[in-house]
Amino acid sequence: MVQGPKGTYDVLPPDQPLREAVITAARRIFQAAGYGRICTPTFEDTSLFERGVGLSSDIVRKEMYTFTDKGGRSLTLKPEGTAPVARAYIQHGMHKLPQPVKLWYYERMFRFERPQAGRFREHYQLGAEAIGSDDPALDVELIMMFASLYEALGVPEVELRLSSMGDGNCRPAYARKLSSFLASVLPGLCRDCQERVSINPLRVFDCKHESCLALLKGAPLLVDNLCHECQLHFDSVRRLLDLFQTGYRIDGTLVRGFDYYTRTTFEFECARLGAQKGIGGGGRYDGLVAEIGGPATPAAGFGTGLERIVLALKSADVAPEAAVIDVFIIGLGSQAREMAVKQLSRLRRLDIAVDIDYAGRKAKGQMKQADRLGSRFAVIIGENEIAAGRATVRDMGSGKQHAVLFAELPAWLLERIEARNCQ
């Protein structure tokens, strides 16, 4: 049979409550911080990512879902969320709005990678971007927003790593310093690292080989080689972060994957997650807007993976209650069934969650279905009820039954359902 494409997955009804809890909490936190939601297209002009994310990044080099449409355009399913938001900012003249412009999103991302735990070819990211300010307090606002999201949800064992990538002023000088150091130890590095040296030297810090780690102990770090302005900015971020009770670790070996990052970078990890333990990351990207054709505009942002949050929550047994139904209507006999269907629609109009049997079950089977669905009441309508003009309403919790006039049924149920909802 035909299966879903490799690296994709279906979200079935039982999976929804947890995901919705994450999305709802994120929406609440973003809105409370003054971020407005933005949706950008599923695909963008390929050049947006080539220029924005950078040709040297793995994403652009080998992970993009790129295709040519019937008009001959090269388009790409978006592999990340920041470049599209920056594009929209420019396209809609948002630089004329009061700055910074604060936006959040919840979107699907696509990357052609080998799937593994916490990694998919299509995944969902929640993200926020604040464009138009270089205030270090903005970096901290973003960090704290996500820290409080993880905390509100109960994500276990979250750790924050913080670093600075410097800017166009200090990074080139540092790159030269690092390169000459790496040249001096080159023969001792693993093959992967030797390759990194030529493509993206900073990446050597990601290596897990003991021998490389030992050699790199003596390597110069970017955080120790910031220019005056970047140092002041970084110090300010740290001071502000210290105002909150959030722990963090300065990690000069933290390197983020996109070329557009400048100054502050950070990453949240969850120790429960195995190899793909990064649950979210972000930072400042003061050069991106200009890079893709807008005015010089400082900005900072963050993205976090829905699947990884969900995995972390599951590891901590966080499980919101499944959706239940208020009322299940049991119709017995063809004549009574017409009345049952009529009551069904009356109750639904009042926003009562109500369902009925469509599988031809016997009375016992329908009762069982009412129980399975978690309904609070079963409304039984048979020949006896039609004759008496009253439905038999069974409280599924206590097992007590009441005879209720059909005319009074909606009000009778509504009163009791609302009373319980308020508890």
The reply to whether 119 sits near RNA by the rule CB under 7 A is yes
Q: Which positions from 74 through 93 interact with RNA, judged by CB under 7 A?
A: 80
Q: Is there binding between residue 196 and RNA (CB under 7 A)?
A: yes
Which residues from 306-335 bind RNA, rule CB under 7 A?
307-308, 332
Query: Applying CB under 7 A, does 182 fall inside the site for RNA?
Result: no
Positions 205 through 234 that interact with RNA (CB under 7 A) = 206-208
252 binds RNA, rule: CB under 7 A = no
Binding mask 37-76 for RNA (x = CB under 7 A): --------------------xxx---x-------------
Shortest Å distance, C-beta 387 to RNA: 8
Contact predicate 51/291, CB 8 Å: yes
Residue (40 or 99) nearer to RNA, CB: 40
Minimal distance, residue 158 CB to RNA, in Å: 12
3 binds RNA (CB under 7 A): yes
98 near RNA, rule: CB under 7 A: no
Give whichever of 294 and 305 is closer to RNA, judged by the CB atom. 305
**Size, binding site for RNA by CB under 7 A:** 74
255 makes contact with RNA (CB under 7 A): yes
* Shortest CB 228 distance to RNA, Å: 28
d(CA 381, CA 393): 9
Half-sphere exposure of 158 (CA within 13 A, CB side): 29
8 Å CB contact between 380 and 389: no
Closest approach of Cβ 135 to RNA, in Å?
A: 23
Q: What is the token pair recorded at 134?
A: 């270089």
Q: Which of 31, 116, 169, 184 binds RNA (CB under 7 A)?
A: 116
Q: 219 near 199, Cβ under 8 Å?
A: no
Q: Is 304 in the site for RNA (CB under 7 A)?
A: yes
The tally of CA atoms less than 13 A away on the side-chain side of residue 26 is 24
Per CB under 7 A, the list member of 78, 87, 102, 123 interacting with RNA is 123
What is the C-alpha separation between 386 and 377, in angstroms, rounded? 19
Spatial neighbors of 156 by CB under 8 A, at least 6 apart, are 270, 272, 312, 315, 316
- From candidates 23, 152, 341, 363, binder to RNA by CB under 7 A: 363
Check binding of 284 to RNA (CB under 7 A).
no
Distance CA 54, CA 295 (A): 19
Residue 256 makes contact with RNA by CB under 7 A: yes
- Is there binding between residue 156 and RNA (CB under 7 A)? no
Tell which one of 17, 34, 36, 115 touches RNA (CB under 7 A): 115
Q: Are 16 and 48 in contact (CB under 8 A)?
A: no
- 368 touches RNA (CB under 7 A): yes
CA-based nearest residue to 19, from 27, 29, 8: 27
